[in-house]
Structure 1
Amino acid sequence: MSEILDYPSRLTDKHSRKFETFSYLPRMTAEQIRRQVEYIVSRGWNPAIEHTEPDEASGAYWYMWKLPMFGETDVDKILSEAQLCHNQNQAHHVRLVGYDNYRQSQGASMVIYRAPGFE
């Protein structure tokens, strides 16, 4: 069995902070982000885009970019909204959320654009 290591993430080191499972992986490519959006749509979840300042990213409150895209199934439109949010909030982290109507919870949540200096 391999050794389990402590990940050196600390609140005092903002560059080491992690937000969710995907934060421990290399940054997603545009194609990988597209596949995540396709997965959210295929599950029938409602996509939403949120953003926040890097110093506030570990908190529970993120700003909602417009309203959740209830019933939206056009992957290109969802990606376009995410890009628009990123373009208008370049100093913020931007995350994609998939709301599961059946379970009344988030089915997916991942940071898709990181603020400069946090790549």
Structure 2
Amino acid sequence: MIKELRKTMKQVFDATKRLKVSRSVDVFAETDCSFNLERIDYDTNRKLCNANFSYIVSPEPNSNSTAPSITFDDIVTNFEESTTLSIFNDNKLKVLNYSFEQGDVVTDPTTGTVSLGFQINIRVININ
């Protein structure tokens, strides 16, 4: 189930070209994933997954910009639009709830480059 959830989260964020890792766009990377699984139905082997995904967004390495071109609000909007699409259903997952936590804004003292860290907490069940 966690394999499907991680695959789905990548699909959600790859849905917006600006959230891919490349030399020509902002750096967007998963930095951590922690989760726990609970069996909720022994008859159908249904499971509940509580997962915490951490991400960081930094400006394009070759640009003169010191901040990412996307904001935390852009990321939240992209995710919320994706949860209403069939991405999760296509991967046999149903979102029960989710929350965002905006993390630190880290500034590199040498270059002045600003990176944004944030976390998504999500609960899903598998659909059989």
TM over 0.5: no
Greater fraction of residues in strand:
2
- Over alpha carbons, which structure has the higher Rg? 2
